[in-house]
Amino acid sequence: MKMTRIFAAAIAALGFAGTTLAAEGEQYPPKEHHWHQDGPFGTYDRQAVQRGYQVYQEVCASCHSMDLMRFRNLAQRGGPFEEEAFPNPNDNPIVMQIAASYTRVWDRDEINDDGDPVERAGLPSDPFPAPFPNVQMARASNGGAYPPDLSLIVKARTGGENYIYSLLTGYYDAPEDSHLAPGMYYNPYFAGGAIAMAPPLAEGIIEYADGTEATVEQMAEDVTTFLSWAGDPHMETRKQMGVMVLLFLLIFAILVYLAYRQVWANVKH
Ligand code: HEC
């Protein structure tokens, strides 16, 4: 008797907690979006990855680092600037040009004859430059919130590409009854509904190198595709390998069947 009462109380408490949570910050499920890289044969849309890099570089890179990326990764096999003529990514002219457009101290251990750290133009082997020298400064510049590193963000969030896309296109006017703290923005796709990142995308803020119209949806899709590639650059090779393995198994199965027929051919059933 006593047990059932405790049990009932626990159920009631759980239900109560559930309703208050839902009321405080209802999180929308991510939008369903079609991705070129979906499915067992899906590949990255190379043009989208290129445009997405442009969005990252011109918009997101002022707040978000991508510590696991080096310039030459952009020209590696399957990368956005891969060129047949330059199998070695370190020789890729586009990537050399991108890297060289950044001048800074790349390595505190590179010292000149006067004992000062060397400031020089970037090389393909240098990492993507981080916008802030440390976490504290990143927080101080963003109202206390830390813009996470984007190298693996698509893998790191439930919902993957759909979540990132929804977040970037999910800023709406806050409902009347929401109490947004100063510096927070209403985005129901973010857990809790209030995010410290101001809407980063707006129609036409960049001019695409390939002439594509820069709508918010287009930029969100492109930068998500780029981040997806960055977090899993070997996906295409892996999928190709999967197809080869299945093909091998199929041929092997046929051979085994024929061998079986051969072996039993003269046996009376
Ligand atoms: C002005 C600085 C700024 C810019 C520009 C910016 N962000 Fe952010 N971003 C932030 C901050 C700050 C947070 C942390 C928000 C929080 O925790 O409330 C964040 C969080 C995020 C998150 C993580 C959300 C989560 O689930 O934790 C993603 C993904 C993201 N940004 C993507 C982007 C992309 C893509 C761009 C470029 C289109 C971009 N951001 C541009 C400041 C910025």
Q: Please, which residues have CB within 8 angstroms of residue 122's CB and are 6 or more apart in sequence? A: 71, 98, 99, 100, 101, 102, 103, 104, 106, 129
Which atom of ligand 1 is found nearest the CA of 157? Answer: 26
Q: How does residue 178 score in pLDDT terms, banded at 50, 70 and 90?
A: confident
Rounded-to-integer distance, Cα 124 and Cα 89, Å: 8
Which tokens hold the place of 50? 């290129």
Which atom of ligand 1 is found nearest the CA of 220? Answer: 38
- pLDDT of 189 > 60? The answer is yes
Q: What is the mean pLDDT of the chain?
A: 91
DSSP, collapsed to helix, strand or coil, labels residue 73 as helix
**Residues 15-48: pLDDT tens digits?**
444 443 444 567 999 999 999 999 999 999 999 9
CA terminus-to-terminus distance, the chain: 68
Phi-psi region of 129 (alpha: psi -120 to 50; beta: other; left: phi over 0): beta
Q: What is the pLDDT of residue 3?
A: 56
**With a 6 A CB cut-off, is 196 part of the ligand 1 pocket?**
yes
CA distances in angstroms from 182 to 51, 164, 199, listed in the order given:
33, 24, 15
**With a 6 A CB cut-off, is 164 part of the ligand 1 pocket?**
yes
What single letter denotes the amino acid at residue 103? T
Taking a C-beta distance cutoff of 8 angstroms, is the pair 195, 185 a contact?
Answer: yes
Q: What is the pLDDT of residue 5?
A: 64
**With a 6 A CB cut-off, is 195 part of the ligand 1 pocket?**
yes
In this structure, of 96-100, 104-108, 255-259, the range with the lowest mean pLDDT score is 104-108
**With a 6 A CB cut-off, is 200 part of the ligand 1 pocket?**
yes
**Residues 46-55: pLDDT tens digits?**
999 999 999 9
CA distances in angstroms from 120 to 102, 108, 219, listed in the order given:
8, 12, 32
**With a 6 A CB cut-off, is 230 part of the ligand 1 pocket?**
no
In this structure, of 23-32, 88-97, 170-179, 205-214, the range with the lowest mean pLDDT score is 23-32
Higher pLDDT, 14 or 205: 205
Q: How does residue 176 score in pLDDT terms, banded at 50, 70 and 90?
A: confident
Q: Whose CA is nearest to atom 21 of ligand 1?
A: 147
- pLDDT of 4 > 70? The answer is no
Rounded-to-integer distance, Cα 264 and Cα 48, Å: 56
**Residues 204-249: pLDDT tens digits?**
999 999 999 999 999 999 999 999 999 999 999 999 999 999 999 9
Rounded-to-integer distance, Cα 120 and Cα 17, Å: 57
For a pocket test of ligand 1, which of 54, 59, 64 has the largest count of ligand atoms closer than 8 A to its C-beta?
64
Rounded-to-integer distance, Cα 118 and Cα 129, Å: 15
**Residues 117-134: pLDDT tens digits?**
999 999 999 999 999 999
Taking a C-beta distance cutoff of 8 angstroms, is the pair 118, 112 a contact?
Answer: yes
Q: Whose CA is nearest to atom 39 of ligand 1?
A: 60
Q: How far is the CA of 238 from the centre of ligand 1 (A)?
A: 30
Mean pLDDT of 85-96: 95
In this structure, of 5-9, 173-177, 188-192, the range with the lowest mean pLDDT score is 5-9
Q: What is the pLDDT of residue 23?
A: 42
